[in-house]
Structure 1
């Protein structure tokens, strides 16, 4: 995922698990100025495909953090996984939404009192799996929004639990695991 005018244009690189069956993925990003957002996908055969859209935005990378920093640090690393019921009763396609508490500071934001830059501190690695089967992984940068949020679908492999591991730029590792709640599997 590329945001042309951001100070670090590569917002994130996602790797989809071999048999994961992911057909859509969404997340929230910071956009610094009017820009193209591009999603570039490489198939297993090495073909490249691109989709793009133009958005009008202003100051996303340097916009002040929304939360109180003390509160953000106290809840950092907490995760929530939302599971949506399949649209058809016998389908193995499962939709999930992963929410992670993290300030995801870009390094371009200023402390409102001191006016010093707040050091960059963000989730830069994420892996999501069902049991031992990878669903997706991400290498992220400063453009992923505060409190990262990822919504995606995948082909469930039975009732194995969902496992998440996220690592931030300070080396802190956050883990979570949840049982599959789908009745149709």
Structure 2
């Protein structure tokens, strides 16, 4: 115990200044930056994130060698894919990602394979999609978990064998340890398909929203009641078919957010019956479910 007559400790003025700077920074907030163009700039307040969107990382170099070997990968202006991600997402467990094919309408090439990665995640390969003939333009939207400040990357492989990449640096963290919503465990695996803009019989394609109700547990989330880690349990694969024709097959991991969702576009025939759209789901505990939608009952927009 400190005696009452002990001399007071000297004031740490440097610490007070640092605290004041931190409070001022917190008051300013994170709003207004999306990171859709140009290099990622240092954050307000001096955070050490002066990283360019196109920069490499040790994790990426290792992944590149393992996944693509020494094959050249087009990037920058030469790339035929664009990745749209907010520079600072509101929530690390649900970072919106949009992937846009830059192939011109007259280009005969098609995207055959898409790999989506988060460099610094515990499981960096979030999803690998094999694209089929019933898919329209190779544009996708989904949501990812991001565990710490990291690059998100997408690599398209075209049917001529060439690889094309785009990447974005994202300033968000904590995505792999955020506890999921566990209010409706009886709905795990339920698969929803809908056409947000109706059926379109044109070259632009028909937009489809696919959602699987699933916690997509990572194994890094803490149960607040038992104070034990929740075992991993996530959607491992999705197979989408239109009238029996392949749309895409997705091999996935827990880097995809809770309630995994994909927005994509179908190539719908100009006339005649379209058929049923189906999605077959399998998770890491071998739970298998299916969602279906009869497009001939959907109506033309």
In 2, Cα distance between equivalents of 1:149 and 1:142? 13
**Unaligned regions of 5+ residues in structure 1, if any?**
none
Counterpart residue number, 2:202? 91
Counterpart residue number, 1:177? 292
Match of 1:28, SS state, is: strand
Match of 2:227, SS state, is: coil
TM-score, normalised via structure 2 length: 0.57
**Mean Cα deviation higher: 16-25 or 98-107:** 16-25
Counterpart residue number, 1:132? 244
Offset of 1:32 from its aligned partner? 0.4
Runs of 4 or more off by more than 4 Å in structure 1? none
CA distance 1:176–1:78, change in 2 (3 Å): same
Asked whether the 8 Å contact 2:188–2:214 carries over to 1, the reply is yes
Higher normalized strand content (fraction of residues): 1
In 2, Cα distance between equivalents of 1:57 and 1:100? 24
- Please list the CA deviations of residues 140-160 of structure 1 after superposition, one character each: whole Å capped at 9, or x if unmatched: 011011111110112124421
Q: Which has the larger radius of gyration?
A: 2
Match of 1:74, SS state, is: helix
Higher normalized helix content (fraction of residues): 2
User: Is 1:112 aligned with 2:227?
Assistant: no
- Please list the CA deviations of residues 68-105 of structure 1 after superposition, one character each: whole Å capped at 9, or x if unmatched: x2x33111112221203369x65151100011111100
* Number of matched pairs: 180
- Please list the CA deviations of residues 120-146 of structure 1 after superposition, one character each: whole Å capped at 9, or x if unmatched: 000000011101111111000110111
Asked whether the 8 Å contact 1:64–1:109 carries over to 2, the reply is yes
User: Is 1:14 aligned with 2:98?
Assistant: no
In 2, Cα distance between equivalents of 1:74 and 1:9? 29
Match of 1:163, SS state, is: strand
CA distance 1:48–1:133, change in 2 (3 Å): same
Asked whether the 8 Å contact 1:77–1:102 carries over to 2, the reply is yes
Counterpart residue number, 1:34? 149
In 2, Cα distance between equivalents of 1:143 and 1:49? 22
Alignment of 1:39-78 (within 5 A): 39-65=154-180, 67=181, 69=182, 71-78=183-190
In 1, Cα distance between equivalents of 2:230 and 2:259? 16
In 2, Cα distance between equivalents of 1:23 and 1:168? 25
Query: Root-mean-square deviation (CA), in Å?
Result: 1.7
Offset of 1:19 from its aligned partner? 4.6
Offset of 1:62 from its aligned partner? 0.9
Indicate the structure whose relative CO is greater, using CA pairs within 8 Å and at least 6 residues apart: 1
Match of 2:125, SS state, is: coil
TM-score, normalised via structure 1 length: 0.91
